[in-house]
Structure 1
């Protein structure tokens, strides 16, 4: 996919950054249907080309953020060698530099969140409560809640199964699946449907 075909998914004025980051690399971008498990991923292919997949359902600023995350993998591996940790210091520093270079792309109310995130980039988008809240506020107008907003003993539905919150363990919540009697840990920003 050519860079220009990405334009409909991206905020304005992103192409100059992407042209620099793409450089002469052979990169295949695949736009996928929305996936619950991940927003995007990066792979180095056997023929030495690179493949990046990104969910098509992302808002333009988040699409650009995820694309930047995945390109940071490519650039970190190219600059530091294939033996580095995927989300180690080299990747974090590369991602941080890319975020700061392109900060002008983001809406004014998102810039402080990106700046804060760039101090110590996380491997998982869900590990940044500020980013998750920002994009969920924009994305969701349904009846869903964050699990951290519910009280112990409250029931909720997650992926068509009913749970009850039993206890808080450090940051996560231990919940009993009332359909299977199995217990699961949920992250505080898991989106659930509260039962009244």
Structure 2
């Protein structure tokens, strides 16, 4: 990955901090088209190199957070030879230490900064599980897909999700919503920050 291209995808204030982290020996960073199931991943290649793969997105703040998330996986792999929980104590500690220098308002807007600071006290496997962080980051997306968060849709309303499947929003169970697919009658659990297209009655 060309370093100058990668730097275009993150906030300018983060460039000097990120450069030594992405210049590690035997590390290749690849940017690909958006994948629905993940924002990024890390893996060891058969040739002995290590690869971080990231979705190409226009939201520089989300991209930077994902990049640091995956760099923390690389650091754990490099420093700890035995197998550990992918998002266990070792990764949480590496991620916290790595992202702390970036937590300033020269890099992140105050709105994201305060939520991100709270998030890293006990970071989760995916930023998507932190509803407040997802909502704050969404405001800085550069495109409008005419979708809303499921959390903002009223109960008993219809919406489209995925391959134009139609669902009925039902009740909330703990942190997720139970929604029924109209065609099959099956019920599914949805994140409150799932991006859905409302259907007018």
Residue 176 of structure 1 aligns to a residue whose secondary structure is strand
- 2:116 maps to which residue? 114
- In structure 2, what is the Cα distance between the partners aligned to 1:4 and 1:143? 32
Residue 21 of structure 1 aligns to a residue whose secondary structure is helix
Matching of residue 74 in structure 1 with residue 74 in structure 2: yes
Which of 156, 161, 173 aligns to 1:158? It is 161
Is the contact made by 2:149 and 2:193 (CA closer than 8 Å) also made in structure 1? Answer: yes
Residue 140 of structure 2 aligns to a residue whose secondary structure is helix
- In structure 1, what is the Cα distance between the partners aligned to 2:66 and 2:92? 14
CA RMSD of aligned residues (A): 1.8
Residue 109 of structure 2 aligns to a residue whose secondary structure is coil
Unaligned runs of 5+ in 1: none
Instruction: Give deviations 1:84-138, integer Å, cap 9, x for gaps.
Output: 1110011001101111122132223321122111111111121111221012223
- 1:179 maps to which residue? 183
1:17-166 equivalences in 2 (<5 Å)? 17-22=17-22, 24-104=24-104, 105-139=107-141, 141-159=144-162, 160-166=164-170
- In structure 2, what is the Cα distance between the partners aligned to 1:146 and 1:176? 17
Worse overlay, 134-143 or 76-85: 134-143
Is the contact made by 1:3 and 1:18 (CA closer than 8 Å) also made in structure 2? Answer: no
Quickly say closer, same or farther: Cα 1:97–1:186, change in 2 above 3 A: same
Is the contact made by 1:3 and 1:15 (CA closer than 8 Å) also made in structure 2? Answer: no
With normalisation by structure 1, the TM-score equals: 0.91
- In structure 2, what is the Cα distance between the partners aligned to 1:40 and 1:134? 19
With normalisation by structure 2, the TM-score equals: 0.89
TM-superposed CA distance for 1:23, in Å, is 5.1
Residue 180 of structure 1 aligns to a residue whose secondary structure is coil
- In structure 2, what is the Cα distance between the partners aligned to 1:192 and 1:7? 31
Is the contact made by 1:44 and 1:51 (CA closer than 8 Å) also made in structure 2? Answer: yes
- In structure 1, what is the Cα distance between the partners aligned to 2:155 and 2:116? 32
Aligned length: 196
Runs ≥4 residues deviating over 4 A: none
